Structure 1
Amino acid sequence: MAENSTTEELTTRVDDGVLIITINRPDARNAMNKAAAEGIAAALDRLDSEDDLRVAILTGAGGTFCSGMDLKGFLRGESPSVEGRGFGGLTEKKPVKPLIAAVEGYALAGGLELMIACDLVVAHSGAKFGIPEAKRGLAAAAGGLMVLPDLIPHKVAMELALTGDFIDAQRAYDLGLVNRVTDGSVMDAAMELARSITANGPIAVRVSKQIMDESRSWPRDERYTRQAKLLPEVFMSPDAQEGSKAFAEKRKPNWTGK
């Protein structure tokens, strides 16, 4: 894949180690179809395989993040999923490196499920969030019913699922569903967050994310033992030495990712 690429369904570009992935179906409010899902899966594979890429941002063109599954495609028998990866090429298999959702407009149904599969979320103050599948006789099967109750209070998640009603960005922030809310450019705010991550040691970031994700399912009495198996990659790395030297020498670290 070239550094910058554009298809009918998806665009990607690289900005200083940040891979920006844009769902490019604005006329359909970025509703997810098979081609867009496959494009996201390929972009996330690229994120994890290229050492120069440190973080990705997932966003939508035309002022909307994603309005969910393309219902026209659904009626044609098309599935907006990738085998082994889930809805949008993301919900069942997250990338190893950090992924930030930059949300404008609506993150609804599968769009919300894509968002909560990301590690961090930056939202415009006018954004709206919800899982309205029940209003259409469907169910939020790409993580909305299972993951959302892990992220916000159970009764609030239940209300969203059973009523299909939306919440605004401030409510999402208050619930801890969103990291940052901005009145300005959501991409500028997402890039600011991304750069605060790329300033850190790549191995430390990757392993920290891995432990935080995986430890939620570890038996409580095995957590430290399992963590101990992953930490040597961090503490015995040349980057760990470089970080300590840079601190002592009052300079920025020169990370190698090794």
Structure 2
Amino acid sequence: MADRAEQVVTWETVQPGVTVVTALRPPANALGIPLLDGLHAAMDAADAAGDVKVMIIVSAIPGFFAAGADIKHLSSIDAESFTAYGDKMRAVNDRLATAPYLSIAAVDGLALGGGLELAMACTLRVSGPGGKFGLPEVKIGLIPGAGGTQRLPRLVGRGRALDIMLTARQVPADEALSIGLVDRLTDGDVLEAALAFVGEMKGASLPAQRAVVRTVDAAFDTPLEEGAAYEVAQEQSLFEDGEAAEGITAFVEKRRPNFR
């Protein structure tokens, strides 16, 4: 946890297997280089620990999850630097989406542009009543380029995704829940709600949970027959090399499984 990427991102283990990553880059958690480097550092720490099952990403700034790309930074760079900046944003999101653990974005405030793209890269999203979600890039002549045009339609469908991106509007928390952009809505503290969500998933096999995510994601990328074949391969792999043997044995013996 050295230097903590200028202290704009911190992380701690709050219970066995659960890491909370907190973003604090005033005034609005703009996704500048320090914050992106901090997120990479948090994931480096999770990889080094080797025992993380769920990562929760939350903001310490009231009213903001992350307001999006660092526009001031964009205003001062050339095309080559723009490419490098975009690559760094995409690398964070892609790494989070393919991490060997589950992830939850705990949002209470604005999650706009790159902030929403970060939240969509997580496995799941929890929102407080103040959550607002949007991809307003067309207002500055760009498109959501860190996975937004690809992940949003997979969550809410083509028509709703186009509505959100073409109008650049902010989607309130209750609508976000109704269209599947967020998975849980709470009237209380979003971190507590995220931890409660973790509690519901506790006791299951992480390899099996990750396989569920992969096979569900495959449903959006492949024809039905190919997706079904991929499902079979994942199931077979879990039986041969995963934790299914322990799960089945525990069920027969009427005890809790000892998953890793």
Bigger helix share: 2
Across the aligned residues of Structure 1 and Structure 2, the Cα RMSD in angstroms comes to: 2.5
Match of 2:39 in 1: 40
Match of 1:19 in 2: 19
Q: Which amino acid aligns with 2:9?
A: L
Q: Distance in 1 between matches of 2:192 and 2:45?
A: 23
* Higher deviation after alignment, 70-79 or 173-182: 70-79
Match of 1:161 in 2: 165
- Cα deviation, 1:128-180, whole Å, max 9, x if unaligned, reads 11112222333222222232122213222212112211111000000011110
Say yes or no: does 1:103 pair with 2:107: yes
Q: Which amino acid aligns with 2:12?
A: R
Q: Verify the 8 A CA contact 2:104 2:123 in the aligned structure 1.
A: yes
Offset of residue 73 of structure 1? 1.6
Unaligned runs of 5+ in 2: none
Q: Distance in 2 between matches of 1:41 and 1:253?
A: 33
Q: Which amino acid aligns with 2:58?
A: T
Q: Distance in 2 between matches of 1:216 and 1:42?
A: 31
Offset of residue 251 of structure 1? 3.3
Match of 1:207 in 2: 211
Offset of residue 218 of structure 1? 2.6
Q: Verify the 8 A CA contact 1:37 1:82 in the aligned structure 2.
A: no
Q: Distance in 1 between matches of 2:163 and 2:44?
A: 35
Q: Which amino acid aligns with 2:110?
A: Y
Residue 99 of structure 1 aligns to a residue whose secondary structure is: strand
Q: Which amino acid aligns with 1:17?
A: G
Match of 1:229 in 2: 233
Offset of residue 236 of structure 1? 2.6
- Cα deviation, 1:83-134, whole Å, max 9, x if unaligned, reads 4x64371147622321111001100111111111111000001211111222
TM-score by length of 1: 0.87
Match of 1:90 in 2: 93
Q: Distance in 1 between matches of 2:120 and 2:72?
A: 24
Residue 246 of structure 2 aligns to a residue whose secondary structure is: helix
Offset of residue 34 of structure 1? 1.2
Match of 2:249 in 1: 245
* Higher deviation after alignment, 191-200 or 246-255: 246-255
Residue 231 of structure 1 aligns to a residue whose secondary structure is: helix
Say yes or no: does 1:150 pair with 2:118: no
Unaligned runs of 5+ in 1: none
Equivalent in 197, 202, 212 of residue 201 of structure 2: 197
Offset of residue 8 of structure 1? 2.3
Q: Which amino acid aligns with 1:219?
A: P
Q: Verify the 8 A CA contact 2:28 2:67 in the aligned structure 1.
A: yes
TM-score by length of 2: 0.86
Q: Distance in 1 between matches of 2:5 and 2:33?
A: 16
How many residues in Structure 1 have an aligned counterpart in Structure 2? 253
Q: Extract structure 1 runs of 4+ deviating beyond 6 A.
A: none
Match of 1:60 in 2: 59
Closer, same or farther: CA 215–50 of 1 in aligned 2, 3 Å: farther
